[in-house]
Structure 1
Amino acid sequence: MHLDELREYCLAKPATEETLPFGPDTLVFKVANKMFALTGLDETDLRVNLKCDPDYAVDLRERHEEIKPGWHMNKKHWNTVYIEDGDLRDDLIRELIDHSYGLVVKSLTKKVRAEYGLDV
């Protein structure tokens, strides 16, 4: 997976926007104004920080050397997924993006989900 594919996949999610709140080198994807993915634009090797269930995060880190505790993030709830320099399958990366997005949507109030058309 390359940056353009990552970006396209994230932006296809309902109510998603991309922002640059940390400066021009860090692309952040948000749903209902809450982050679910961020990636550096100036990196030589593509990596993305994704929200993750704490137990699942530990399991992923044990099974995949390309998945580490979230860099500059709460390491209990975020993973850094190294994409270009690893052997992770694209479908696993998409699954992890879906998981991150789903956690954020699930954490929203019913009212906010309804405002963004995310009632699930």
Structure 2
Amino acid sequence: MTAEDIKAYCLSKHKACEAYPFGKVPVCYKLNDKIFAQLYPDEGNYKITLKCTADAAQFYRMVYPDKIMEGYHCSKVQKPYWNTIYLDDFPEKELYNMIDFAYDTVLHGFSKKVQKQILEEAGK
């Protein structure tokens, strides 16, 4: 899967946008100004960091111990809620599921009122 494929998938999410709050890298994907994905498209260090719940993050780390680690860039307090996935030879379908989960995790972190507004705008 290419960086362009990941970019297109992240931007296909309702109200998702691309941002560069830390410079050229990582490329961040946000929902209502909250990051759900951070893409590092560099060859040789091709990875993505995704928002997660603590339980799901731990599960993914156990299933893919050689490919997924705690969000390497995060503070100790944030590490349980972010996973960094090394993308070389990572299953495409699983990555799409994890991006969906990251987006939904951020969505459900908003107040019920904001969630309702976002979902109504999406026609859901």
TM-score (norm 1): 0.88
Alignment deviations for residues 33-57 of structure 1 (CA, whole Å, 9 cap, x no partner): 1000001244533200001111121
Which residue type is aligned with residue 110 of structure 1? K
Q: Decide which of 79, 85, 95 is 1:81's aligned counterpart.
A: 85
Cα distance, 1:54–1:8 mapped onto 2, change above 3 Å: same
Q: Which whole-Å CA distance do the structure 1 matches of 2:115 and 2:52 have between them?
A: 20
* 1:38/1:48 contact within 8 Å kept: yes
CA deviations over 1:49-104 (Å, ceiling 9, x no partner): 001111121121111120111111221100001102xx321000000000000000
Q: Which runs of 5+ in 1 are unaligned?
A: none
Q: Does 1:68 align with 2:69?
A: yes
Cα root mean square deviation, aligned: 1.7
TM-score by length of 2: 0.86
Contact 2:25 2:40 in 1 (8 A): yes
Q: Which aligned runs of 4 or more in structure 1 are off by greater than 3 angstroms?
A: none
1:1-120 equivalent positions in 2, closer than 5 A:
1-64=1-64, 65-73=66-74, 74-84=78-88, 87-116=89-118, 117=121
CA distance in structure 1 between the partners assigned to 2:112 and 2:53 by the alignment: 20
Stretches of structure 2 lacking an aligned partner (at least 5 in a row)? none
Q: Is the 8 A contact 2:41 2:47 kept in 1?
A: no
Structure 1 pair 118–107 and aligned structure 2 pair: CA distance change class (3 A): farther
Give the distance between the partners of 2:51 and 2:79, measured in 1 at CA: 10
Partners in 2 of 1:35 and 1:119 — Cα distance? 22
